[in-house]
Amino acid sequence: MTTTMAQALNAALRDALKDDDRVLVFGEDVGTLGGVFRVTDGITADFGEDRCFDTPLAESGIVGFAVGMAMGGFRPVVEMQFDAFAYPAFEQITSHVAKLRNRTRGALSLPMVIRIPYAGGIGGVEHHCDSSEVYYTHTPGLRVVTPGTAQDAYDLLRDAIDSPDPVVFLEPKCRYWSAEEVSFTRSGPAMDQAVVRRHGKDVTLIAYGPMVATAMETAEAAKEEGWDVEVVDLRSLSPFDDETVTASVRRTGRAVVVHEAAGFGGYGAEVVARVTEQCFHQLHAPVLRVTGLDIPYPAPKLERHQLPDVDRILDTIARLQWNDTPAVAGA
């Protein structure tokens, strides 16, 4: 059936609540209101206030409460409402959520999900749009995933709730209302596996979350330039699927990493390093990046200048030394 990403997330939460009595959903305004983006719409009415409930406006308290619930055998799914709102809970996440299994030598695990609507594209004002993924991926002990499609929103959230490890679940706000055919059968790839969204032979576009759709648009536009573009959707930011990514880059010999977070110290730098280290002899050109600017997210009317778009990605592809003699594979 045709479903938006927000509806797919809602369906994933509902199915998890039906299948496992240990699953609880809570956060700011997730109950009666159904969440700012209506991801939890109707869940409290259908499952009761014991299973889906509102909390005080205290992110650190929300995550701290979830830690205790997970230690007690529940599977809490908490919502941070907006990306930058999660920072008051950062100490809880890095010091307790990420470290408890290691601290207890495996005696305790934290099967919990921290849902964070993130990134731009909605014209949000200050503190309502941020790309915070690298903070979490740099923290050992956390799984970090982000869906780029409505189908993945359902599949990844179901897998995240079932995971024995804590998962930071980054939901691209600008894609909440994008619709596609979705099957609620959980037949997708494993949670930590990247996927090739489009096959091509000339260059690999590596994207995730909100930039997956932009990468796919770019691949279509690139046909007019004579480029056959392959698109890899990372899905899992931590752990990283080296096998799928490097296999694609070895086939095409060129790669561009796309994300809307700032470039300096951004997630793309790690991807470039891994690809370069593992595919050096197959590369025909240096791996390039298309990123957001090294500034805070600008005011709504200026946001379009911050976000990577098709033209910027095509301009970057054009810089990939197309006239150079290709390297000899395996040399």
- The answer to whether the predicted template modeling score (pTM) of the entire model surpasses 0.85 is yes
Render pLDDT for 109-166 as a digit per residue (tens, 0 to 9).
999 999 999 999 988 877 898 999 999 999 999 999 999 999 999 999 999 999 999 9
Angle at 231 between CA 229 and CA 236, to 5 degrees: 165
Residues 147/153, Cβ–Cβ less than 8 Å: yes
Catalytic residue among 96, 127, 128, 281: 128
Quick check: is 305 catalytic? no
User: Of the candidates 56, 58, 54, 62, which has an alpha carbon nearest to the alpha carbon of residue 29?
Assistant: 54
Render pLDDT for 205-256 as a digit per residue (tens, 0 to 9).
999 999 999 999 999 999 999 999 999 999 999 999 999 999 999 999 999 9
Backbone angles phi, psi at 233, to 5 degrees: -100, 115
Structure tokens at 228: 């056959």
| Residue-level pLDDT at 330 | 40
Model confidence at 324, pLDDT cuts 50, 70, 90, reads: low
